[in-house]
Amino acid sequence: MSLKALPKVELHLHFEGAAPPSFIRGLAQEKSVNLTGVFNEDGSYAFRDFVHFLSVYEAATEVLKTPQDFARLTRAVLEESANHGVVYTETFLSPDFCGGRDLGAWREYLHAIQEEAAACERDMGITLRGIVTPIRHFGPEKAKETALCAAETVGDFLTGFGLAGDEAKGKPKDFDYSFDMAREAGLRLTCHAGEWGGPQSVRDAVRDLRVERIGHGVRAIEDLALVDELAEKGIVLEVCPGSNVALGLYRSFRHHPIEELRKREVKVTVSTDDPPFFHTTMTREYEMLNAAFEWNEDDFKTLNLAAIDAAFCDDATRDRVRKLLEAA
């Protein structure tokens, strides 16, 4: 079986960040929105570094205005993922970009996304679940409003709560109120850390937010006692190697710590993060890991089984996807 056809589980995908540039340009034309600075001359997303990436990401979301736009985005994203063998995916969503933290609007956006995701599941056999995600650099007060939206809409589709954005802006502890609210509402928890924040940010997220998964988390490798603690506690890392290389955290896949973390028995999974921004796909991630560390189909199967075990979904969905992975 080719690496492209291999059934895959992806746990870390930002919804707007998965929008193909052509999709965003098309909407911009329809709505006469000026997106100066968002694209390079060759049509790819333009960004210089991490902080600039965050601002380009937010500028691109300006064209996503209605629930219908998000329904169209759902199909565009899931078609691309299914084309690369993804059978189950979780995506970071935020009321900040869907109606602006207004509960009524959020419900409408969510309904449109969920309906289209159900249609895509019927058409392409790919399952989508949502992780509500406050944006760190928007601050803890806005995160509380986001957590309230999340707590009111938890269900079959919305199953997780996360935190993304600029790690330099605030510590995990600043967001503990929101995470407590989300946990009490029954949401499963993850937090971006150990990307730009260093190993201490991973410790803080585990201790102060009591998350079961970490988005990235790769800089835990700089503190081997922490690596042992992650392995012991069974904390799952949502590793996005192509994203880390594209944003300049590591020089190449061969310099990436994923293999070392795996050898030290940390539960690692592989995702794309914001695939068109970082010129990647799930197939490319697997091909690069194969080239750098000789990971083979058995390794990828083990990886995907670990990912579905850590997925924020109900047991029936987990069993169904696990059987699919085992049969491959």
Tokens in use for 170? Answer: 């605030």
Site string for ligand MCF, 271-300 (x = CB under 6 A): --xx--------------------------
- Segment near Zn ion (CB under 5 A); pick from 130-138, 153-161, 167-175, 273-281: 273-281
* Size, binding site for ligand MCF by CB under 6 A: 18
Contact 320, 327 (CB under 8 A): no
Q: Looking at beta carbons only, is 12 or 203 nearer to ligand MCF?
A: 12
Q: How many whole angstroms separate alpha carbon 149 and alpha carbon 130?
A: 13
Residue in 69, 90, 145, 195 binding ligand MCF, rule: CB under 6 A: 195
Contact 189, 160 (CB under 8 A): yes
The yes or no reply on residue 285 touching Zn ion (CB under 5 A) is no
Give the three-state DSSP class for 191. Answer: strand
Site string for ligand MCF, 47-86 (x = CB under 6 A): -------x--xx----------------------------
Residue in 80, 96, 167, 273 binding Zn ion, rule: CB under 5 A: 273
Q: Looking at beta carbons only, is 15 or 286 nearer to ligand MCF?
A: 15
Residues ≥6 apart with Cβ < 8 Å to 75: 116, 119, 120
Residue nearest to Zn ion (CB): 273
Question: Which residues make beta-bridge pairs with 128?
Answer: 89
Q: Looking at beta carbons only, is 70 or 92 nearer to ligand MCF?
A: 92
Amino acid identity, residue 110? Answer: L
Residue in 21, 99, 165, 199 binding ligand MCF, rule: CB under 6 A: 165
Q: How far is the CB of 320 from ligand MCF (least distance, A)?
A: 26
Residue nearest to ligand MCF (CB): 164
Site string for ligand MCF, 90-119 (x = CB under 6 A): --xxx-------------------------
- Segment near ligand MCF (CB under 6 A); pick from 9-17, 21-29, 172-180, 280-288: 9-17
Pairing of strands 267-270, 188-193: unpaired
- Segment near Zn ion (CB under 5 A); pick from 47-55, 71-79, 201-209, 267-275: 267-275
The yes or no reply on residue 10 touching ligand MCF (CB under 6 A) is no
Task: Give the DSSP per-residue string, 84-152.
Answer: TTEEEEEEEE-TTTTTSS-HHHHHHHHHHHHHHHHHHHHHH--EEEEEE--BGGG-HHHHHHHHHHHHH
**Which helix (H) or strand (E) covers residue 12, if one does?**
strand 8-14
Q: How far is the CB of 238 from Zn ion (least distance, A)?
A: 8
Tokens in use for 213? Answer: 């998964």
- In angstroms, what CA-CA distances link 66 with 110, 130, 255? 11, 18, 42
Contact 136, 164 (CB under 8 A): yes
User: What are the residues binding ligand MCF (CB under 6 A)?
Assistant: 14-15, 17, 54, 57-58, 92-94, 133, 135, 164-165, 192, 195, 243, 273-274
